[in-house]
Amino acid sequence: MDHFLYRNGHLHAEGVALSDIAANVGTPFYCYSAATLTRHYQLFKEALAPMDNLVCFAIKSLSNVAVLKLLGDLGAGMDVVSMGEYLRAKAAGVPGERIVFSGVGKTREEMRVALEGGIRQFNVESEPEMRALSEVAVSLGVKAPIAVRVNPDVDAKTHEKIATGKSENKFGIPIARAREVYAEAARLPGLEVVGIDVHIGSQLVDLEPFEQAFQKVADLTLALRADGHTIRRLDLGGGLGIPYTRSNEAPPLPLDYGAMVKRTLGHLGCEIEIEPGRLISGNSGVLVSSVIYVKNGEGRDFLILDAAMNDLVRPSMYGAHHDIVAVAEPAPGAPTVPFDVVGPVCETGDTFAKARDLPLLAEGDLVAFRSAGAYGAVMANEYNTRPLVPEVLVKDDHFAVIRERPSYDEILKRDKLPEWL
């Protein structure tokens, strides 16, 4: 459930008409609903109770500091994968003991910054990384808390670019070698083993791959404990999918996910950590754009928008579907026509949808891409020197710009002319 609904003929984010924001901020822009973010976070808290747990929001899905502060103030932890994300979590006021550092290639510099600033745990993904972390920790006179990310060799049955739990993927260490890797970790002077980490992919619409992976983690927990390790925390990653279309998809709910976690891991007495991104942020955001032109092509009509693949890359990168709706509510029974919905970028790949049935839209009309809160703004770029799309946060009946659209001056100033040119 989200808080983007038609009221008095206009699509609103909570109590604010998106057309009012467009008049104020210009288009395109991302708009997030505080109530939806809050609700989705709480769904996970309810699903995991009464287990001891920490819900660490995967910042990579939506990293604006205002959103992180909103979630952090509710008690959320953060899952970060870079120094930049770590600094964002800190800037949002999240204490180090609620920040988990994931990622396959952490640098020594990143390790040092996190150890100095405070960190709950590093999820380490290889032996060389483990050794480097131990060295950095020793040089600072501390012990780095770690979980080893294991690769359970499970098919997540999701898009190949976002599946991470098969043995051919670059992530984690093969679960079959976990015992020897933990044995080395225990010998390294700068590390303190606290648990096990697993993450098998993103946009999973079935619980079964999770269950297979968690079962393997349960077995490994017992084996590692028998080897003498203290396994008190299990980090289960993120990955629970969301419905991108209103009609046919119904991925499992957090409550079902929570019940499965209890069933597979509840008996171990571990603290449970999860790292959801998309389920919290995805349906909490829309991308609002204006129609620049309607162009009649050969056997098709193009809806040319002022948003493009640089603002929302998911359709061109993953072939992802995003529902597109008119911001002015169509009259009941109003006719629809198929449009190819495209942006102005000079690539055929800059296509959001083909033959999408939409109301008769005209120049200047507003449309909203739904489910754009996750992996939307964070993956935006300035291709074709199009300014980074701004972000707006709505709470009840007020809104604030939480990232401004850069001016062309600011963009051009970043380029430097060498003296000799």
Catalytically annotated residues: 346
Q: Which two tokens stand for residue 379?
A: 């993956």
What is the amino acid identity at position 104?
Answer: V
What is the amino acid identity at position 186?
Answer: A
Question: How near is the Cβ of 318 to ligand LLP at its closest, in Å?
Answer: 6
10 Å Cβ neighbour count for 9? 12
Of 28 and 237, the one with the shorter C-beta distance to ligand LLP is 237
Is residue 121 a contact residue for ligand LLP (CB under 6 A)? no
Element (H, E) at 326: strand 324-326
Q: Using CB under 6 A, which of 102, 264, 290, 371 touches ligand LLP?
A: 102
Question: How near is the Cβ of 30 to ligand LLP at its closest, in Å?
Answer: 14
Question: How near is the Cβ of 278 to ligand LLP at its closest, in Å?
Answer: 3
Question: How near is the Cβ of 91 to ligand LLP at its closest, in Å?
Answer: 20
Question: How near is the Cβ of 199 to ligand LLP at its closest, in Å?
Answer: 4
What separation, in Å, do the N-terminal and C-terminal C-alpha atoms of the chain show? 56
Q: Which residues contact 139 (CB under 8 A, 6 or more apart)?
A: none
Is residue 53 a contact residue for ligand LLP (CB under 6 A)? no
What is the amino acid identity at position 242?
Answer: I
Is residue 278 a contact residue for ligand LLP (CB under 6 A)? yes
Question: How near is the Cβ of 410 to ligand LLP at its closest, in Å?
Answer: 26
CA distance 399 to 309: 26
CA distance 388 to 282: 19
Of 72 and 359, the one with the shorter C-beta distance to ligand LLP is 72
CA distance 236 to 382: 34
Is residue 165 a contact residue for ligand LLP (CB under 6 A)? no
Is residue 258 a contact residue for ligand LLP (CB under 6 A)? no
Q: Which two tokens stand for residue 197?
A: 């980490």
Is residue 199 a contact residue for ligand LLP (CB under 6 A)? yes
Piece of the chain touching ligand LLP by CB under 6 A; list 208-216, 233-241, 251-259, 365-373: 233-241
DSSP string for residues in 218-268: HHHHHHHHHTT----EEE----B---SSSSS--PPPHHHHHHHHHHHHGGG
Size of the site for ligand LLP (CB under 6 A): 21
- Whether the Cβ atoms of residue 150 and residue 204 lie closer than 8 Å to each other: no
Q: Give, as ranges, the residues between 367 and 386 that touch ligand LLP (CB under 6 A).
A: 374-375
Question: How near is the Cβ of 378 to ligand LLP at its closest, in Å?
Answer: 8
Is residue 237 a contact residue for ligand LLP (CB under 6 A)? yes
Is residue 254 a contact residue for ligand LLP (CB under 6 A)? no
Longest dimension (CA), the chain: 70
Q: Which residues of 301-331 are buried (b: 16+ CB within 10 A; e: fewer)?
A: bebbbbbbbbbbbbbbeeebebbbbbbbbbe
Q: Which residues contact 378 (CB under 8 A, 6 or more apart)?
A: 60, 61, 62, 63
CA distance 192 to 357: 56
Is residue 82 a contact residue for ligand LLP (CB under 6 A)? no
Q: Using CB under 6 A, which of 31, 37, 58, 146 touches ligand LLP?
A: 58
The DSSP bridge partners found for residue 289 are 367
Nearest to 210 by CA among 158, 167, 248: 158
Is residue 172 a contact residue for ligand LLP (CB under 6 A)? no
Q: Using CB under 6 A, which of 33, 202, 212, 371 touches ligand LLP?
A: 202
Around 251, how many Cα atoms within 13 Å sit in the side-chain half-sphere? 21
Question: How near is the Cβ of 151 to ligand LLP at its closest, in Å?
Answer: 12
Is residue 85 a contact residue for ligand LLP (CB under 6 A)? no
Q: Which two tokens stand for residue 377?
A: 């703004």
Is residue 61 a contact residue for ligand LLP (CB under 6 A)? yes
Is residue 365 a contact residue for ligand LLP (CB under 6 A)? no
Q: Using CB under 6 A, which of 87, 162, 259, 268 touches ligand LLP?
A: 162
Q: Give, as ranges, the residues between 305 and 364 that touch ligand LLP (CB under 6 A).
A: 314, 318
Q: Using CB under 6 A, which of 72, 152, 190, 277 touches ligand LLP?
A: 277
E strand residue ranges, 8-65: 10-13, 16-17, 29-33, 53-58
Of 104 and 388, the one with the shorter C-beta distance to ligand LLP is 104
- Three-class SS of residue 111? helix
Contact positions toward ligand LLP, by CB under 6 A?
58, 60-61, 79, 102, 162, 199, 202-203, 237-239, 275-279, 314, 318, 374-375
